[in-house]
Structure 1
Amino acid sequence: MSYVKPTELVQTVIDAGASKVMLSTRDTLVRSIMGGAVLTIAAAFAITVSVTTGSPLLGAVLFPIGFIMLYLLGYDLLTGVFVLAPLAWFDRRPGVTLGGILRNWGLVFLGNFIGAFTVAVLMAIVVTYGFSTPPNEVGEAIGHIGEGRTVGYADHGAAGMLTLFIRGVLCNWMVATGVVLAMISKDVIGKIVAMWMPIMLFFFMGFEHSIVNMFLFPSGLLLGGDFTIMDYLIWNEIPTVLGNLVGGLVFVAIPLYLTYGRPASPRRIRASKRARTVTSPAPTDAAAATAAVEPETSRV
């Protein structure tokens, strides 16, 4: 399998970030709608596997299928552009501005929500036979997830809010790592293996992913979960988005740029040149004689 070294990888990631910021509104919305839909149908699949087999680990092992499919197709997630777009700004790519980054984030958020909410409605129809029967065991599980991850945090007050935020940070540390690792190989198998690892980890650990939650909580409300829209926004989605932003920037984008993406300073370049001069072998007598003659020759 081909392997892209980190220095080359970071430049590829920066290029990707610049292209995301420059995308048209139509393309950004289409790609983010499909990204949200593909990821959340994989979340529904993983929950179905966990409930029907009684093995949450198996559900976590299979959940990355959705993430892999959407990134192989070039679709977008908010958690991904939280890393890609700032890297292009750090690198001062022409046309990449803070306004452009915020526009990109806003469009991707909207598109992801549309895609996730669409899947939430479709899955609610599936697990209730078109709302004609109570939800099946999968539907009940989704409803309870919504309760536990809203009022469950609220019951702990400030400590619950802190826990929610940190889970959002840890989540996008892993998800953003998966986004970057999607570019660390030039063949499909290498990309799949690299992406699989961090995504499986975040899902099994129960970290908070803002896009997955765009599916879980509307689904929970549609299926009779005992929480409100304000519970969802205040005690999950907003803190999760902020945690995802911090996790992607602090633990992925900034470290990668500082160590692999930032151009060498003039002082480091001069020091490197001096080191090469000191360690280079002394010229032979013949080489010295040739060097002495060359200036005269050049003036003829």
Structure 2
Amino acid sequence: MPNNGTPATNAGTTQSNEVHVTTQPSILTPIINVNALTPAETEEAVEKAGVTKTQLTGGKAFVSAMFAGAFIGFGALFFLIVTCDPAMTWGPKRFVGGLAFCMGLVLVLCCGAELFTGNSLMASDLAAHRISWPAMLKNWVIVWFGNLAGALVLVTLIAFAGTMGLNDGAVGNTAVATAASKITPDWFTLFFRGILCNILVCLAVRIGFSARSVADKVLGILLPIAGFVAMGFEHCVANMFFLPVGLVSKMLGFGAQAAGADAVTVQGILYNLSAATLGNIVGGAIFVALAYWFVNAKKNATK
């Protein structure tokens, strides 16, 4: 019988107010490293990306390259719009125009696209025996023509949009003058400007690979890209936009008084692209890709 209002319990059992908690396995918090990759780690990332590029189907590589051609074209158009202001002096105009052009590579690196000049870094994969000559050359050819197609699509859209008529036609006049300035120099001058250009572009791409965040990528590429534009170097993919848009602007009646406007022809475009493309390959593949592969391969060997 219960005594003094105390609840009864079953014989042989005891009451307990203890709460039993089932413990779960502890989950370790991942360590987030905010430091950029080391040069050796960056080289590994570049080479892994190069292998992945050779595994793309031809169609996917071409469409991705079209994106890159259009992205660089947008940056080039931004450059034309900024630099058409006659009130700006030469130095500041080149610097601000170079910063505007950076938008193109920002889109390529952050949104993902196949850029011919950046793909010259695949030469390090070739040296490391990760890919073959045919695989690399196939990628380069597909991406080069994909970049050209993307740039030409953008030129067509811009022509119908009337963009060259902005600022009372100053954008169209600047487009013709810019194209002429890229065609009138002799072939070897353009070739060496192409070498210097892609040294800076590929260094900027390596900075993008070493970055831990989108902000790192954007900030890291600004000065190398703005620098090559301000210095007047030749980027074949940018010229796939600059030169055709200059020719279209000339056909629309802009830039008649620009120096060297008569040189802005289809033949002049091919003349520039041949020199700029070969120069870009030498600058990116030899002076950056193979050089960094050699440095990091020697480090790995000593370890």
TM over 0.5: yes
Q: Corresponding residue for 1:213?
A: 239
After the TM superposition, which residues 72-221 of structure 1 pair with which residues of structure 2 at under 5 Å, given as runs?
72-83=110-121, 85-93=122-130, 96-127=131-162, 136-150=169-183, 152-153=184-185, 160-221=186-247
Q: In structure 2, how many angstroms separate the alpha carbons of the residues matched to 1:245 and 1:239?
A: 10
After the TM superposition, which residues 56-75 of structure 1 pair with which residues of structure 2 at under 5 Å, given as runs?
56-75=94-113
The unaligned stretches of length 5 or more in structure 2 are 1-33, 251-260
Counterpart selection for 1:228 from 265, 270, 275: 265
CA contact (8 A) 1:50 1:57 kept: no
Q: In structure 1, how many angstroms separate the alpha carbons of the residues matched to 2:137 and 2:169?
A: 40
Q: Are 2:59 and 1:23 aligned?
A: no
CA apart distance, 1:72: 0.9
- SS of aligned partner of 2:84: helix
Q: In structure 1, how many angstroms separate the alpha carbons of the residues matched to 2:227 and 2:179?
A: 21
Q: In structure 2, how many angstroms separate the alpha carbons of the residues matched to 1:57 and 1:4?
A: 29
Greater fraction of residues in helix: 1
Counterpart selection for 1:49 from 82, 91, 99: 82
CA apart distance, 1:88: 1.4
Q: Corresponding residue for 1:34?
A: 67
Q: In structure 2, how many angstroms separate the alpha carbons of the residues matched to 1:248 and 1:76?
A: 15
TM-score by length of 2: 0.79
CA contact (8 A) 1:2 1:190 kept: no
CA apart distance, 1:63: 1.6
CA apart distance, 1:125: 2.7
CA contact (8 A) 1:79 1:244 kept: yes
Q: Are 2:291 and 1:255 aligned?
A: yes
CA shift digits 1:45-94 (9 cap, x unpaired): 111011136323211122212211211112111001111x221121112x
Aligned CA RMSD, in angstroms, stands at: 2.1
Q: Corresponding residue for 1:156?
A: none
Structure (1 or 2) with the larger CA radius of gyration: 2
The unaligned stretches of length 5 or more in structure 1 are 154-159, 270-300
Matched residues, number: 254
> What residue identity is the alignment partner of 1:29?
F
CA apart distance, 1:124: 2.4
Q: In structure 1, how many angstroms separate the alpha carbons of the residues matched to 2:60 and 2:163?
A: 34
Q: In structure 2, how many angstroms separate the alpha carbons of the residues matched to 1:263 and 1:58?
A: 39
CA shift digits 1:194-250 (9 cap, x unpaired): 12221111111110000010011111111115232112212x100110000000022
> What residue identity is the alignment partner of 2:78?
F
Which range is displaced more, 15-24 or 54-63?
Answer: 54-63
Seq. identity, %: 29
